[in-house]
Amino acid sequence: MSRLLYAVITGVFGAVLLHIIIILGIPHFTGKDAYTRVVAEGAPFVFHRLEVKPDTTGLSSLDPYMRVAVCHFDISRQPLSLVALGSGSFWSISLYDKDSNEVFSMNDRTSVAGDVDVLLATPVQIAQLRKTPIPALAQTILVEHRGTTGYAVLRSMVAQPSFEAEAREFLAEAECLPFTGR
Amino acid sequence: MFRVPLLIALTLIIAFGGGILSSLSALNASVGFGAIRIGVWSAFPAAQTAEADPYAKAHRAKAGRLLYGSAEGLTFTASADDAGQRLTGTCTYRLSGRTPTARLWTLYAADGDGLPLVASADLPTSLNSQTVLRQHDGTFSVTISPTAKAGNWLALPDTGAFSLVLTLLDTPAAGSTGLIGLDMPGIETLGCGNE
pLDDT of residue A154: 94
Residues 6 or more apart in contact with residue A48 via CB below 8 angstroms:
A38, A41, A42, A69, A70, A71
Work out the number of other CB atoms within 10 angstroms of the CB of residue A32.
13
pLDDT of residue B119: 75
Determine the average pLDDT of the residues in A106-133: 90
Banded pLDDT at B52 (limits 50, 70, 90): confident
The answer to whether B5 contacts chain A (CB < 8 Å) is no
Residues 6 or more apart in contact with residue A117 via CB below 8 angstroms:
A82, A83, A111, A139, A140, A141
SS3 B17: helix
Interface of A with B in 27-56 (CB under 8 A): 27, 30, 32-34, 36-38, 50, 52, 54
CB–CB contact B18 A18 (8 Å): yes
Banded pLDDT at B165 (limits 50, 70, 90): very high
pLDDT of residue B178: 55
The answer to whether A180 contacts chain B (CB < 8 Å) is no
> In this predicted complex, what is the ipTM?
0.87
Determine the average pLDDT of the residues in B176-192: 77
Q: Judge contact between B111 and A54, C-beta under 8 A.
A: no
Task: Give me the residues paired with residue A153 across strands.
Answer: A70, A94
Banded pLDDT at B118 (limits 50, 70, 90): confident
Banded pLDDT at B141 (limits 50, 70, 90): very high
For B114, nearest residue in chain A (alpha carbons)? A62
At the topology level, CATH places domain A35-178 in Immunoglobulin-like (2.60.40)
The answer to whether A177 contacts chain B (CB < 8 Å) is no
Q: Judge contact between A84 and A142, C-beta under 8 A.
A: no
Q: Judge contact between A108 and A86, C-beta under 8 A.
A: yes
CB–CB contact B62 A30 (8 Å): yes
The answer to whether A5 contacts chain B (CB < 8 Å) is no
Beta strands at B73-78 and B163-169: parallel, antiparallel or unpaired: antiparallel
Q: What is the residue-wise DSSP string for B167-184?
A: EEES-GGGG-STTTTS--
The answer to whether B192 contacts chain A (CB < 8 Å) is no
- Residue A171 class from Cβ within 10 Å (0-12 exposed, 13-18 middle, 19+ buried)? buried
Torsion of CA B40, B164, B80, B71, to 10 degrees: -30
Determine the average pLDDT of the residues in B170-176: 72
CB–CB contact A160 B57 (8 Å): no
pLDDT of residue B176: 59
Tell me how close the Cα of B71 comes to any Cα of chain A, in angstroms: 5
Banded pLDDT at A47 (limits 50, 70, 90): very high
